[in-house]
Amino acid sequence: MPLLEAISRLGIGAAYFNGNEDQLPAVPLSGVRVVFLDLRVAGIPGGSAKQHIPYTLSVLEKVVEASRGSTGIVYWTKHDEDVEDFQDQLLKDLPEFRPAFLLRIEEKLK
């Protein structure tokens, strides 16, 4: 939520989705320029990257209209094994979605 507040103060429109199926938009949003994505979104407690990444990508597909080069993804995880799995699965599962950039923010344990 602090990220949403900071973006809003800059006058940038933002939408928040926590990954719950009942809160996702009816149709994917168009014109999205940046997605901030937790690789382990709500919905799957515990489990491995092999379980989380496909679910996260299915949420991404429902929220953001697939396009090539117009949307960038800033993502975070504290699980190093997620990074390669995410990049590989993104190419396989959503071939029509080619991000303008992929930027990882390493999540630190508190």
Q: Is the pLDDT of residue 7 over 90?
A: no
* Residue 73: pLDDT over 90: yes
**CA–CA gap between residue 32 and residue 43 (Å, rounded):** 23
**What mean pLDDT, rounded, does the chain reach?**
84
Q: What is the rounded average pLDDT of the residues 83-106?
A: 90
Check residue 90 and give its pLDDT.
92
Angstrom distance (rounded) from CA 39 to CA 92: 16
97: how many CB neighbours lie within 10 A of its CB? 20
Look up the pTM and report it.
0.81
What's the pLDDT score for residue 108?
61
How is 16-76 classified by DSSP, letter by letter?
A: ---S-GGGS-SSPBSS--EEEEESS-TT--S--HHHHHHHHHHHHHHHB---BSS-EEEEE
Confidence of residue 4 (pLDDT cuts 50, 70, 90): confident
Average pLDDT, integer, range 81-97: 90
- Token pair for 20: 């719950």
- pLDDT average, residue stretch 87-100: 91
Please give the span between the terminal C-alpha atoms of the chain, in angstroms, as a whole number.
17
What is the tens place of the pLDDT at every residue in 11-64? 888 888 888 888 899 999 999 999 998 888 755 656 666 778 888 898 899 999
pLDDT at residue 69 is higher than 60: yes
Q: Which helix (H) or strand (E) holds 49?
A: helix 49-63
